[in-house]
Chain A
Amino acid sequence: GQQLNQSPQSMFIQEGEDVSMNCTSSSIFNTWLWYKQDPGEGPVLLIALYKAGELTSNGRLTAQFGITRKDSFLNISASIPSDVGIYFCAGPRAGNNRKLIWGLGTSLAVNP
């Protein structure tokens, strides 16, 4: 079945550093979504990608839809303390785009 593998599971970085995380699947996806979840809150959509090779930015965040359509990457430049949280990738199941498959998340900690 379809699964999303996120890596790394967790990261601990210094403020100002750049961050890179990725999401891979054994199946092809037509959409990649990146969410961030702050403690005690629901996930918030950061970036949506719809086309292979697409590169999209949202402030200091940049995400790319892999050419093979089996992976996606999220980069955060010049990290700040408020970047702390869990970052999830998600994508719609094949044949039913009403249902999303979720990765298990990358937990990011930023040391000021």
Chain B
Amino acid sequence: DAGITQSPRHKVTETGTPVTLRCHQTENHRYMYWYRQDPGHGLRLIHYSYGVKDTDKGEVSDGYSVSRSKTEDFLLTLESATSSQTSVYFCAISETNSRALNTEAFFGQGTRLTVV
């Protein structure tokens, strides 16, 4: 299994509070991603990183920010949590393969976040 650790695994927080989720990898992969998964919507990309301090927005980035100060860590911050951000959050990593494609993403176990 790819070495990806998400923390915390479960969190309940109040509306309006900031929340930070952490993704840690031991694979030295270049690319890291944050997704959210909701019933009926599948996996949606929030933000991703293609190197230290290099990040870009995904399709549902509003209300979220990310930081990557080290190769192994990718942090997702909900600046002011809302109930619509109740979801399961997955971190994923990938690296360029022998065909110069970096699409074989490996996922962490997820963080279940509830905003009350």
- Which residues in A have some Cβ–Cβ distance to B below 8 Å? 30-31, 33, 40-45, 48, 50, 88, 90-92, 97-100, 102-105
Contacts and interface: CB of A to CB of B under 8 A. Distances in A.
B40 A99 contact: no
A99 B58 contact: yes
Contact of B48 (A30, A92, A99, A105): A99
A31 B90 CA distance: 22
Nearest to A6: B42
Contacts, number: 56
B28 interface: no
Given A42-B110, A50-B99, A103 B42 contact: yes
Interface of B: 31, 40-45, 48, 50, 56, 58, 90, 92, 99, 101-110
Given A33-B103, A104-B40, 6 more contacts: A43-B43, A45-B106, A88-B42, A97-B102, A98-B31, A98-B56
Contacts of B42: 88, 102-105
Which of B50, B90, B101, B102 has most A Cβ within 10 Å?
A: B101
B107 A48 contact: no
B91 to A, nearest CB: 8
B102 A98 contact: yes
A33 B45 CA distance: 16
A105 B43 CA distance: 9
Nearest to A41: B109
Contacts of A50: 99, 101
B86 to A, nearest CB: 16
